[in-house]
Amino acid sequence: MQVKDKVVIVTGAGSGIGRATALHFAHFGAKVVVSDIDLEKAQKVADEIVTNFGESLPIKANVAQYEEVENLIQHTVTAFGRLDVMVNNAGIGPKQLLKTAEHTLEDWEAVIAVNQTGVFYGMKLALQQMLKQGSGNIVNVASLAGLKASINNLSYSASKFAVVGMTKSAALEYAKTGIRINAVCPGYTESALLDKLLSARPDMDTMLKSIIPMKRYGDAKEIADAIVWLASDQTKFMTGQTLILDGGTSL
């Protein structure tokens, strides 16, 4: 992967896909800012990178707060002089899986704030820095739920459909500036979100695997591999795309 010495921010990097992505970038020589709402988790990932690969910096940020995302970008540029790659990965699911009429306002507001508005903040502020540089790369983590209907999960589905749309719109706007913007759409992947779902509904494990043609969940490292590839110089003619990684579920 051609990402050596690139300065990369990964949000939600304290666990799951974010952690795997941060480690994967570092493995290929990138300088990684590990951002998470939980600074202790971010610190552990950054320490792992420093011990095994190279440079890393942990920064606490709640992506639903504009000022915290602004600080994240500014701190990164102060430390490393630039921002080459922004991975908007931080995301949450609703506390309760309910049909639309019963969907709680609390879940709607929280999920949209992180998954949709948080990605907007990350894109907006990263783009401002990348325009100054004349180059950059953004990878947004959407979901299969942003491409297909997802019952009892309206806020999550709405937010991920929005991420796909924002990716395409912004990619078109900035294609001629040297900035590329793409998204990945994971299917059911081993992560904190899936663990939460299965702990609430253990019976869903067999059901979910039955609808995945590969009969297994995705591994966070497999999603990370796609994210790093999209951010690398090996995909210079690729922008506005949504890469589906779902074990064939969408088929």
Selected catalytic residue, list 66, 121, 156, 174: 156
Q: Is 156 a catalytic residue?
A: yes
Written as six digits, the tokens of 10 are 């990964």
- Rounded CA-CA distance 195/210 in Å is 17
- What is the length of the chain? 251
d(CA 139, CA 16): 16
Which residues, including other chains, have CB under 8 Å from residue 190's CB and lie 6 or more apart? Answer: 16, 217, 218, 219, 220
Dmax over CA atoms of the chain, in Å, equals: 51
Describe the strand order of the beta sheet including 7-10 as a list of residue ranges.
56-60, 31-36, 7-10, 85-88, 136-141, 179-186, 242-245
User: Measured between alpha carbons, how far is 241 from 227 in angstroms, rounded to an integer?
Assistant: 12
Give the helix ranges, DSSP H, for 113-243.
Answer: 118-133, 154-174, 192-200, 204-210, 220-231
Helix (H) or strand (E) holding 4: none
Catalytic residues: 156
